[in-house]
Amino acid sequence: MLTVEKKLIEKYKMGKNRLGHLQPRYLEVFEYRTGIADGTTHTQKETGKKFGISSTRAAQLEARVKYELELF
């Protein structure tokens, strides 16, 4: 049985091309945070530090990608 996060990641992988209207940074943050980028999930704090943004902003960018994924 797939968890909600795993379903979301699968949906992302299959529909990434439909997210082209988002800035690439949003997708990079989402991929890093969820572990798509390197196989390891990262905290909001780690994500923020890597991208030079606050952990709150990292959460906002991740939430935007999740929102867009729910639309299709």
Written as one letter, the residue type at 18 is R
- Supply the pLDDT for residue 27: 97
- 4-70: CATH topology: Arc Repressor Mutant, subunit A (1.10.10)
Global model pTM greater than 0.75: yes
pLDDT in tens, 5-29: 888 899 999 989 999 999 999 999 9
Judged against a pLDDT cut of 80, whether residue 72 lies above it is answered with no
Q: Which of 23, 12, 17, 7 is nearest to 69 (CA)?
A: 12
For residues 41 and 33, the answer to whether their CB atoms sit within 8 Å is: yes
How many whole angstroms separate alpha carbon 61 and alpha carbon 67? 10
For residues 28 and 35, the answer to whether their CB atoms sit within 8 Å is: no
- Supply the pLDDT for residue 70: 87
Domain ranges of the chain: 4-70
Please give the structure tokens belonging to residue 40.
């390891």
pLDDT in tens, 31-62: 999 999 999 999 999 999 999 999 999 999 99
